[in-house]
Chain A
Amino acid sequence: MGMMKHLMVRSRRRSLWMMHFCLGGCNGCSIEIMAALTPMYDLERFGILNTGNPKHTDVLLVGGSVNHRNRRTLKNLIDQIPAPRLIVAVGTCALTGGIFNEAYNIIGGANRVVDVDVYVPGCPPKPEAVIDGILSGLDKFEQ
């Protein structure tokens, strides 16, 4: 039994299917997430695949600040992700709303709507920082 559990933790840590959802931001973060998938950084060597489908997702990368319209979409998406799941907020907008924090249509960072596990600062964070962010959240799968 112990071995099965050990194997499960190992598999969860080695196989992370990801989806990124860009909310109201400048889109720079999703470009950097795309760049992290490509040969120079290659997220797939950690078993990270871009699925683009919430039902297959383990890691949700959220970029951009939450506004009154995409709040519902974000909640809806997260409800469709089966547990265990990891939610990573990428970029200043997803952390606090950043430079748009005072704009009339902005509620704030992603943590206003969902429980974020890892915050990756940067405007936008470099692909290396995205990798760091995902890897530092892996402890969540230990339980």
Chain B
Amino acid sequence: MTSMLKILLKNGTGRYATRLYPAEAREPFAKNRADLSFDPGCCRLCKTCSRKCPTGAIEVDKENRTWKRDVFSCVFCGDCIEACPKSCLSFVARPPLPQKHHQQAVVYATVPERSKK
């Protein structure tokens, strides 16, 4: 009982441990696996990421030159990042925002045509 009292008094007299989140956000750790970013500039549409993805969240369309990722299916494991031969994918430390509709879940990117050299 006395030991618990000591703990309570220590908590009560000191500053609270709470991080007042929306007002006082902590800078996320640099190596966080919170979200993916995709650089369409270097993509060769090889479909490796789509094949390696354990949840089938990535779809690559060669004809329309689009790359899309379903954020709601993604489990942020990073297999696609390791697999990408051109290193077009990388982790972002900030998590994706909550959404109100299922339709907003998909991230599209159009891969630009490149000159043949």
Contacts and interface: CB of A to CB of B under 8 A. Distances in A.
B77 to A, nearest CB: 8
Contact of B72 (A96, A117, A129): A96
A24 interface: no
A111 B102 contact: yes
B112 interface: no
A123 B78 CA distance: 12
B80 to A, nearest CB: 14
A95 B98 CA distance: 11
A140 to B, nearest CB: 9
A42 B17 CA distance: 9
Interface stretch (A52-60, A73-81, A131-139): A131-139
A99 B105 CA distance: 16
B18 A40 contact: yes
A98 B19 CA distance: 30
A121 B22 contact: no
Given A117-B100, A128-B25, A129-B98, A122 B76 contact: yes
A126 interface: yes
A119 B55 contact: no
B72 A92 contact: yes
A137 B56 CA distance: 28
Interface of B: 16-22, 25, 34, 54-56, 70-77, 95-102, 105
5 contacts: A96-B105, A109-B72, A119-B99, A121-B95, A122-B96
